Amino acid sequence: MMTVFAAATQAARELMRPGMWWHVLWPPIGSLIFWAFAGYLLWPYGIQLMGYLLPVLPWSGWEWIAQWAAVFLLIAVFAMLTYLTTILLVAVVALPMMVNTVAVRDYPDLVRHGENVFWGSLRNTLVAGGIFLVGGLLSLPLLVIPGVILVLPFLWTMWLNQRTFRFDALAEHATAAELQQLISTRRPSFYVAGATGAAIAYVPVVQLVAPVFTALIFVHLGLAALRRLRQQQGVQL
């Protein structure tokens, strides 16, 4: 827990550095504009599709509940797609540049042993995003159950954060064996970091910062863990 807190503190410090806010803002704003435009074009078809996911109400006069539920579910879908697109942009485009900056300044002793970093990151993000998207869509009808919306999206977001960023934070520096070992031994810390990012994503306005802030937490958490692992093994950092 303390390692996650330390990484979050360092991530907050990173946000104050010159040039970082460009990486913070362009992925969520770009995703929001894209899906807002897509939503404008596809809204009638989306409402019709959401209607198929809802149970048919047998009581006359209650059809308005199904209509509002369809609107609610469609908004949830576009919110999910916006966050997923932002994560994809951060993981594949912005994060490699941030990892390089952070590593040079704070972890200059770590030798880079990563291979095929871009394609590995892209593959990892697409697989994680695909699972997140399919799982989120299949669980959509559950969101109309009172209280579920406070738990289920949080759990999916936590999972996506840790599944995506644990790899991207380490891919540039860790060998395949080191990566697998750290994912196995540091899994609880990665989930706590993912939960931290998921919680921030629930806060209005601040949620714009959540993807990059979460990514930076994983960068510091992962690289610090890699440094400790190499020190324990007595290998060249």
Ordered by start, the domain boundaries in the chain are 2-31+87-233
CB 211 within 8 A of CB 168: no
Identify the DSSP state of 104.
H
Q: What is the pLDDT of residue 235?
A: 65
Q: Is the pLDDT of residue 163 over 80?
A: yes
CB 209 within 8 A of CB 23: no
What is the C-alpha to C-alpha distance for residues 103 and 67, in angstroms, rounded to an integer?
A: 51
Identify the DSSP state of 150.
G
Phi and psi angles of residue 21, each rounded to the nearest 5 degrees, phi first = -70, -20
The b/e string for 8-42 (b: 16+ C-beta within 10 A; e otherwise) is bebbeebeeeeebeebbebbbeebbeebeeebeee
Phi and psi angles of residue 116, each rounded to the nearest 5 degrees, phi first = 50, 50
pTM, 2 dp: 0.88
Q: What is the pLDDT of residue 59?
A: 42
CB 140 within 8 A of CB 53: yes
What are the tens digits of pLDDT across the range 180-207? 999 999 999 999 999 999 999 988 888 8
Quick one: average pLDDT of 113-133? 88
Higher pLDDT, 137 or 59: 137
What is the C-alpha to C-alpha distance for residues 57 and 206, in angstroms, rounded to an integer?
A: 38
Q: What is the pLDDT of residue 35?
A: 93
pLDDT-derived band at 237 (thresholds 50, 70, 90) equals low
Q: What is the pLDDT of residue 57?
A: 46
What is the C-alpha to C-alpha distance for residues 161 and 87, in angstroms, rounded to an integer?
A: 8
Average of per-residue pLDDT values in the chain: 86
Q: Which two tokens stand for residue 38?
A: 């897509």
CB 98 within 8 A of CB 23: yes
Nearest partner of 36 among 74, 4, 8, judged by Cα? 74
What is the C-alpha to C-alpha distance for residues 213 and 84, in angstroms, rounded to an integer?
A: 15
What is the C-alpha to C-alpha distance for residues 64 and 234, in angstroms, rounded to an integer?
A: 67
Nearest partner of 65 among 127, 146, 134, judged by Cα? 146
